[in-house]
Structure 1
Amino acid sequence: MASAKIQDERLTEWNNNVMQYLIPNNVVLSLYLILGTIGNITVIVVYVFKMKVKRDDRFFIPVLATVDFIACLIGASYAFAWNLLPVKFKNEFACVALSFVSQGLTIVAASLLMIIAVQRYLKVCKPSFIFTQKMKYFCIILAFCFGCAFSVPIFFYYGVVEMYNPILNVTGYWCGQTVHYKEHFILHDISAAVFAFIASIVLIILYILIGKTIYQKFIKFHISIKQGKYTKTPSSSTEAESVEPVDKDNVHKSSRSRANSIEDLVDRDGYRRKLRRGSTDTLDQGRFYTIGQHFRTHRYSYMFMTITALFIIGYTPRLTLMILESLDPNFWNKPNETIAGLLFLYRLYLLNHAINPFIYTFFDTRFRKAVSEIFCSCCSTRKSMSL
């Protein structure tokens, strides 16, 4: 009895020592959790309930925001539990379940980014191909099924792992890869690395093709503006800020559609008249004008490019550490300072899920306006209640 009490005291001492080095990690996790939860809930509410005009470009955003929200909530909670009980994590069910959900959501997010890249490629480079609503819903279901299926090995290879501390002469417990079926899990991690590598290459190729196409359109648009040959046709750009095909007999819908297209944002006729005079200021304004319209027109492609790039950057350290962990059974048996640094890299993927709402805010002007209206209405309501 006394021996068990001594062992427990030593284990608690070891646990507290490791926890001290994980305090900065907890601060970062708190930021991930707060920003990811509030931001993604705001995205879901605004895009689902506040956006009056449903755009094809925004279709996947609420789905991706839902995955980001759950990933932040589960991933950060799992990380907090691990940090609080780094060597006293004895709950086998919680370890396996949280590991399964965490990895599954990461695979789902990666699959959704693949689907979005294909959708952007078809929209920009192959506009004759129609990506129907049924196809989109089918792809979303397929992404979730693939994420779950790919994460099933977690049930066999993850669990409570024992680790011996020779200095304190005590055995600790934490959640990680078990030694059972180690060879099989190495194959699983290698296959995950191969999938991530192929997916990254495909994403890079698709967005290079997208970038090449929109750059060619930018050059043509710039030349047409200078030569005065640009016509007021809303269909002149495959990604123009039009809503849906507009009924010509409906004047209000038609005017609103043109107001949201790149053709009617400024007075081109006046600009062209000034351009013929050869004014240097006008030429500079023209360059800024065409660049501005270019980014307004293709901002959703640039937005998803940014999200995808951050996802690849954030997920690469985690995947690398997973492979190293599967190759070395004593990988985590390192000094506390090293463990804290490795855990920061391991959880860097959560930054992607937390920062995506800010990327939507930066690129989508309608979303930014809707959020501002909600914030202003809340402030005015609070002010009126205080009076």
Structure 2
Amino acid sequence: MANLSQEYAKILLPGTVFITVAGALGIVGNIIVIILYWSKIEDENGDRYFIPVLAVVDMLGSITMTIYNLMDNYFFFDYPSDTLCQWLTFSMMLSGLFSPTLLLIIAVQRYKKVCQPSERQFTLKCRRCTIFLSVLISAIFIAPYLLFSGTSTTTMEFQGQNVTGTFCKVLDNTKFPGKTFSRIGLIHLGCICMLLAAILITLVVLYALIAVKLRKAFQVLGTEQEPLRPRETEPLNRYGDKEVQTRFNLMYALIVIVYIISFVPTAVTLILVYVGVKYLELPNSALVAWIIFARFAIVNHFINPLIYTFFDAKFRAALGLICKIKCMSQNSHEMSIPS
């Protein structure tokens, strides 16, 4: 069975390269984001408060997805540990649910700032409470997978032959035989999918309302050549410069768009597996494409640091300063070495 796993890993080498590079970029990029936002950048009005938190989630997501998928590539037919399978499944799904709930909290904060500027905004205590509740709710939803998931010995068809192996499964029906357990697991998985769909729809609606509000506000403000009236500009300037606020709104909206684009292929392949699509019978090239699509959600984790770099001038300045100091230190060290 080990030889078959090696053959499978050889077929999926492009997928292994993809997940390794994406995971490494996600880990390194988000570590840089965490360090700079928590140590070098001041957050006067809460616009950046959730960025390092989201970076922590992206970093953990990169780690768990990389380990889970590499284990799946190299030990597909002879998975070595039931406990490892359970905890990797739990960790990956936890970060997968916590990330969109955090994006929802950010969207609500942006909506209140743009569309309800005269009402009470998110205080520091409120931000901390929403993060705690998001972690708690996500953990409660995903905790059953410490029970549902695990390794099971079953027979599958691979390249035209029936193969009996030990597989890591999100829903391990062999632990609790019977249709009842299987139905409970599928219903729970379906509930999570519906919750994610509801969150994504809400995100789209909130940012659509923000876009409509900003469009109307800029129509009222007029062009740069026309004088601005203080009464009309006040709602946009109350929490800072309107251009900066607009860039933050665009930044968070783009993060949501990238999340949706990266999440959809993973969700579709997962659904197809549970409705009975036998992807292991696909030709090698199609199988590689399937695996990459199934793991495409990791793209979201390493793209976010690039989005922060493009939209946040303070982050670019801090990153540039660190790079400049490092280069100066390296040049100084080279000059001190006698020729």
Q: What is the TM-score with the length of structure 1 in the denominator?
A: 0.78
- Residue of structure 2 in register with 1:367 after alignment: 315
SS in 1 for 2:47: helix
Runs of 4+ in 1 over 6 A off after TM superposition: 166-169
Matches within 5 A, 1:212-291: 212-223=212-223, 225-231=224-230, 235=234, 237-238=236-237, 242=240, 261=241
Distance (Å, rounded) in 2 between the aligned partners of 1:28 and 1:137: 35
Residue in structure 1 matched with residue 282 of structure 2 by the alignment: 335
1:125 to 115, 123, 130: 115
Question: Could you tell me which residue of structure 1 aligns to residue 208 of structure 2?
Answer: 208
1:174 matched to which residue of 2? Answer: 167
CA distance in 1, matches of 2:122, 2:43: 19
How far 1:182 moved relative to its partner? 1.7
In the alignment, structure 2 segments of 5+ residues that lack a partner are 175-180
Distance 1:87 1:110, change over 3 A: same
Rate the CA distance shift 1:222–1:151 in 2: closer, same or farther, 3 A: same
Following the alignment from structure 1 to structure 2, what is the Cα–Cα distance between the partners of residues 233 and 379?
A: 47
**3-state SS in 1 of match to 2:32:** helix
Deviates further, 137-146 or 160-169:
160-169
Instruction: Give the superposed CA RMSD.
Output: 2.2
Corresponding position: 1:65 with 2:55: yes
Q: Structure 1 residues 332 and 93, CA, compared in 2 at 3 Å: closer, same or farther?
A: farther
Number of equivalent positions? 324
Any conservation in 2 of the 1:123–1:239 contact (CA below 8 Å)?
A: no
Q: Does 1:103 align with 2:93?
A: yes
* 1:52-201 correspondence runs (5 A): 52-128=42-118, 129-161=120-152, 162-164=154-156, 170-176=163-169, 177-180=171-174, 181-201=181-201
The 2-side partners of 1:222 and 1:65 are apart by 37
Of 338, 352, 376, 2:300 maps to 352
TM-aligned CA distance change 1:91 to 1:37, over 3 Å = same
**2:178 maps to what in 1?**
none
Q: Deviations over 1:123-182 (max 9, x none)?
A: 100012221111111100011111111112212221113334586665222211323522
Give the partner amino acid of 1:237: L
Structure 1 alignment gaps of length 5 or more: 1-10, 243-260, 263-292
Using the TM superposition, give the Cα deviation of residue 66 of structure 1 relative to its aligned residue in structure 2, in angstroms.
0.4
State the percentage of identical aligned residues: 27
Amino acid across the alignment from 2:20? S
Q: Distance in 1 between matches of 2:231 and 2:112?
A: 24
Question: Which of the two has higher C-alpha Rg?
Answer: 1
Q: What whole-Å deviation, never above 9, does each CA across 1:276-314 have from its counterpart, x for those lacking one?
A: xxxxxxxxxxxxxxxxx4xx4411111111111111221
Describe the superposition over 1:248-270 as per-residue Cα deviations: whole angstroms up to 9, x where unpaired. Answer: xxxxxxxxxxxxx46xxxxxxxx
**TM-score when scaled to structure 2?**
0.88
Alpha-carbon shift at residue 108 of structure 1 (Å): 0.5
Who is 1:323 aligned against?
271
1:33 aligns with 2:27: no
Do the aligned partners of 2:155 and 2:162 also contact (CA within 8 Å) in 1?
no
CA distance in 2, matches of 1:62, 1:174: 36
Query: Structure 2 vs 1, CA of residues 203 and 229 (structure 1 numbering), >3 Å: closer, same or farther?
Result: closer
